[in-house]
Amino acid sequence: MEDDAIHANHHIQHRYPAEVRFCALCGTEMEIKVVLPDRKRQRVCPKCGFVFFASPKLVSGCLAVKDGKVLLLKRGIEPEVGAWTFPGGFVEFGEPASETAIRETAEEVGLNVRLGRLLGVYTDVKNAKAQVVVYLAEPISGEARTTEEATEVRYFAPGEIRWNTLAFTSTVDALAEWCESVKAAR
Enumerate binding residues for Zn ion (CB under 5 A): 23, 25-26, 28, 45, 47-48, 50
Q: Which of residues 23 and 144 has its CB atom nearest to Zn ion in the complex? A: 23
Q: Which of residues 47 and 126 has its CB atom nearest to Zn ion in the complex? A: 47
- Shortest Å distance, C-beta 46 to Zn ion: 8
Q: Which of residues 22 and 90 has its CB atom nearest to Zn ion in the complex? A: 22
- Shortest Å distance, C-beta 49 to Zn ion: 7
Q: Which of residues 52 and 155 has its CB atom nearest to Zn ion in the complex? A: 52
Give the chain as a 3 state SS string: CCCCCCCCCHHHHCCCCCCCCECCCCCCECEEEEECCCCEEEEECCCCCCEECCCCEEEEEEEEEECCEEEEEEECCCCCCCCEECCEEECCCCCCHHHHHHHHHHHHHCCEEEEEEEEEEEEECCEEEEEEEEEEEEEEECCCCCCCCEEEEEEECHHHCCHHHECCHHHHHHHHHHHHHHHHHC
- Shortest Å distance, C-beta 44 to Zn ion: 9
- Shortest Å distance, C-beta 137 to Zn ion: 42
